[in-house]
Structure 1
Amino acid sequence: MRKSLQSPRSAVTALLVVASLALAGCSGDDDASAEPETVETTHLDGTVEEVEVPEEPQTWPLTGLEVPDDGSAETRHPVIVTKMDNTPSSSPQMGLSHADLVVEELVEGGITRLAAFFYSDIPGTVGPVRSMRASDIGIVTPVRASIVTSGAANITLSRINGAGITHYGEGYKGFFRESSRSAPYNLMADLKEVASTIKQKMSRPEDYLPWGTADDLPKGPKAASIDADFGNHTTTWQYADGRYHNTNSYAPEDDQFPADTVLVLRVQVGDAGYRDPAGYPVPETKLVGQGAAVLFHAGRAVRGTWSKNNLTSPIKLSTKKGDLTVPAGRVWIELVPAADGDVTWTK
C-alpha cells in the first residue's frame, strides 16, 4: 500500500484509505504534456488529498546513471555519435570528456578510430571528425544514433543509407575547418550547433549495455594495467583513483574520457571490399554473433562472453554462471580483433 502525504493535524492519527486511482495519460501516448500519475487519499477528518505518485528513477541509456530530476536534462535530440581520428595527427582530440560512451574500432593499416557517443551532455567543439566505416552500422543502430562524420567511401555510404542511419557532414551547420591543423585532420564540429538543427522530441533509446552495479560482478583477478592490441596500435589503460586512465590518449589531460569501466570484446573482422587511398584494404568489424569478453572494473578483470543477435540488437554479456551486467557509469569499449589482436593485463 502506498503511503500518502498527511496534513500536520492528521500526521499521527490519520489512516490512509485509498479512495481512487487516477492514471493520467492512460491512452499510452508518450507526449510530454501527459499529466503525472496521482492517487486520491482520504483522511479520517474527511479531507481528500491528491498525491502525485513518484516516477521510477529514469536512467541514461548510454551510462545507466540516473537522469537528474532538476529539469536540466536535455533529450530532444537523438544520440549523436562523432567519428574521431585516433592517431598522433589528431592531437589534441577535443570533446571526449563529455562523451557518455566510446567505442574504439579497427580501421585500415592496423590503427583505430573512435565512435564517441554523446547524449546526456552535448558539448561544443569535438574532433577531429573523420569518415565512417561499415562497421559503424552495428555500433550505432542499437540506439538509433545519428553520425557526425567527414563522409565515407561510396560503397560505405550506400550501406549506411540502406541501414537508415542519419549522418551529418561538412556543409551542415556546426562544421568548420580549424586553421591550426592540417587536412584531413582539421575538420571539427560544434555539436551544440549540429544538435540545434535536428532538435526534436525523441523517445528514449534502449540501453546500450545491460546495466547493473559493482556488487553484481563476480570477483575477478586484479588488473590495474591493460593493453588492447589492434595490430599497429595498442591502447593502454591504468587504473588509479577509482577510474581507468588512457595513458597514451591524444586528448589533453583535462579533456580525456573518464572511464569507469573498460569492456573488451573480441570480434571477427572481414574485408569491407575496397581499399583506402593509401592502398590498404579496409577492414570491417563484425559486431554480430558472439565472442570472448573481458570486463575491467575497479581494478579487476571479469571474463565472459558477448553476444549480439543482429546489427540492431543490443549487446548481451554472460559468464558461465549467468548474465553479466556492467556497473552504471562511463564505459570505453574496445573491439579487439579476435584473430590478429590481443588483450593483456597485469596487477
Structure 2
Amino acid sequence: MTRSNPKRTSPATGTPPTRTRTAAALLATALTAALVAGCATTPRAGGDDSVNGSLKPRARTGPVLAVKIDNARAARPHTGLGAADVVYVEPVEGGMSRLMAVYATKLPPAVGPVRSARQSDLELLRQFDRPVLAFSGAQRKLHPLIDRAPLRAVEPGEVSGAYYRGRSKRAPHNLYLRPRRLVRAAPGAGALEATGFRFGPAPSGGRATVSRTVRYPAARFTFTWSAARGRWLVAMDGRAARTVAPATVVVQYVKVRKSRFRDVLGNHTPYPQTVGSGRASVLRGGRAYDVVWERARAADGTRFRTRDGRRVDFAPGQVWVVLARAS
C-alpha cells in the first residue's frame, strides 16, 4: 500500500487531483494527445495488425496503453486482462504482486481494477515509445519522477469519464478504466517490435514442460500447458484465472533491490531491475527454453537469445513476463 499524494487521486476514493502545472505545459500535453489521436488508425480486429493473427505486424501508429492492475485476491477476477498483448508480473511490498497490462492491438471496453504505480514501472516502460500509463495514486515523492518520465501519465479525475467505480467489489479494488477515453485506437503489433518482442517459429531444442510455478513470498503463479487450447492456463495462488491464457510465458530472472521508497508500514518497495542481463525461461508450445535476456540501456528493448546467440521468437498471442528474483 502506498501513501497517497493529496495533490493527486487517492487510490481509495478516486478524488480528482489538482496537479500544479503551468498553463503552457497543459496546453502542450493537450496538443500532443490530439495529434496522436488524429494520426491513429483503428486496426482490423483479429486481422493483420493483431499479434494473434499475423507474424508480420504493420508499423505502429500511436502509443501503447499500459495499465497498473491490482492483483490482490479481492481484486479478482480481472476485467479486460485477456485482451492485453503483454502482461508483466511485478513484485511489490509484503511479498505480493501487481500486474501491468500493455495494450497494442486491441482495446477492451474496460480494464481493472486499477491500482498505484511504482518506480520500477518507469524503467520498464522506457522500452515503449512514449506510452500512456493509467494508474491510481503513487507515493508523494514518486510523483516528480512520473512527471519527468517520457510517458503520458493519467490518473483518475484528469480525463472526464475515463475511470469509474464498479459495484461488484469493494474499494479500493473496484476502480476501472475505459481505455478509449485515453487512447482512441490501438497502435498495432508493430508497437511491440522495438521492445524485442518478435513472433515466429519456435527455436529448436527445449524440453517438454507440462507445468511451471513461480513463487513470490506471498503470491504464487502456476502455468499449465493445454495442448487442446494451444495455450498456458494460469492459476494465481492456486485458483484458476479463466479470462487469460497466454501463448508464451517468460520467466525473467532479475536483480531485485530495495528502492528508496517505503510503504505506510515502513517496508521498502522492491525494485526489480529490468536493465542489464540475466537468464530467463521461455515457455511456448508445451516446451521450456533456457535463454539469456539483455537490455543495455533503459531506452532499449529487451532481447531474448539462446545461449549460442540465436534470437528467440514468441508464439503469436498474449505474452506473460514474470519478473522473478535471480538467485
TM-score, length of structure 2 as denominator length: 0.76
Q: Equivalent residue for 1:39? A: none
- Separation of aligned partners in 1, 2:221 and 2:189: 35
Q: Secondary structure at the match of 2:182?
A: helix
1:150 to 113, 136, 147: 136
- Separation of aligned partners in 2, 1:257 and 1:200: 19
Letter aligned with residue 287 of structure 2:
R
Q: Secondary structure at the match of 1:155?
A: helix
Q: Equivalent residue for 2:155? A: 169
CA, structure 1 residues 148+170, in 2 after alignment: closer, same or farther (shift >3 Å)? same
1:72-118 CA-partner distances (Å, limit 9, x unpaired): x9x75410011001110112210011111111111111111111011
Q: Equivalent residue for 1:188? A: 176
- Separation of aligned partners in 2, 1:200 and 1:272: 33
Shift of 1:317: 1.4
Letter aligned with residue 153 of structure 1:
Q
Letter aligned with residue 140 of structure 1:
L
The reply to whether residue 178 of structure 1 matches residue 166 of structure 2 is: yes
Superposed, 1:97-176 pairs within 5 Å as 97-144=82-129, 145-171=131-157, 172-173=159-160, 174-176=162-164
Q: Equivalent residue for 2:231? A: 243
Q: Secondary structure at the match of 2:207?
A: coil
TM-score, length of structure 1 as denominator length: 0.72
Shift of 1:306: 0.5
Shift of 1:195: 2.0
Q: Equivalent residue for 2:215? A: 229
The reply to whether residue 326 of structure 1 matches residue 282 of structure 2 is: no
Shift of 1:190: 1.0
Q: Secondary structure at the match of 2:246?
A: coil
The reply to whether residue 92 of structure 1 matches residue 80 of structure 2 is: no
1:279-326 CA-partner distances (Å, limit 9, x unpaired): 322111111001111111111111011110111210011222212322
CA, structure 1 residues 59+177, in 2 after alignment: closer, same or farther (shift >3 Å)? closer
Letter aligned with residue 283 of structure 2:
F
- Separation of aligned partners in 1, 2:54 and 2:178: 26
Q: Secondary structure at the match of 1:323?
A: coil
Q: Secondary structure at the match of 2:101?
A: strand
Shift of 1:179: 3.1
Shift of 1:156: 2.2
Letter aligned with residue 87 of structure 2:
V
- Separation of aligned partners in 1, 2:48 and 2:168: 42
Alpha carbons 1:103, 1:114 under 8 Å: kept: yes
Structure 1 gaps, min length 5: 1-30, 33-56, 340-347
Q: Secondary structure at the match of 1:322?
A: coil
Q: Equivalent residue for 2:270? A: 283
CA, structure 1 residues 60+138, in 2 after alignment: closer, same or farther (shift >3 Å)? farther
Q: Which has the higher strand share?
A: 1
1:303 to 268, 290, 307: 290
Q: Secondary structure at the match of 2:164?
A: strand
- Separation of aligned partners in 1, 2:223 and 2:310: 26
Q: Equivalent residue for 2:200? A: 213
Q: Equivalent residue for 2:3? A: none
Structure 2 gaps, min length 5: 1-37, 40-46
Specify which structure has the bigger relative contact order, considering alpha-carbon pairs within 8 angstroms and separated by 6 or more residues. 2
Shift of 1:132: 0.7
Q: Secondary structure at the match of 1:214?
A: coil
Shift of 1:236: 0.6
Q: Secondary structure at the match of 2:141?
A: helix
Letter aligned with residue 102 of structure 1:
V
1:201-244 CA-partner distances (Å, limit 9, x unpaired): 999535133414234x1221111101011222111110002110
Which of the two has higher C-alpha Rg?
1
| Greater CA drift, 260-269 or 227-236 | 227-236
CA, structure 1 residues 218+191, in 2 after alignment: closer, same or farther (shift >3 Å)? same
Alpha carbons 2:57, 2:188 under 8 Å: kept: no
Alpha carbons 1:211, 1:326 under 8 Å: kept: yes
Letter aligned with residue 98 of structure 2:
R
- Separation of aligned partners in 2, 1:79 and 1:155: 26
Letter aligned with residue 192 of structure 1:
R
| Greater CA drift, 272-281 or 260-269 | 272-281
RMSD: 2.9
Alpha carbons 1:63, 1:328 under 8 Å: kept: no
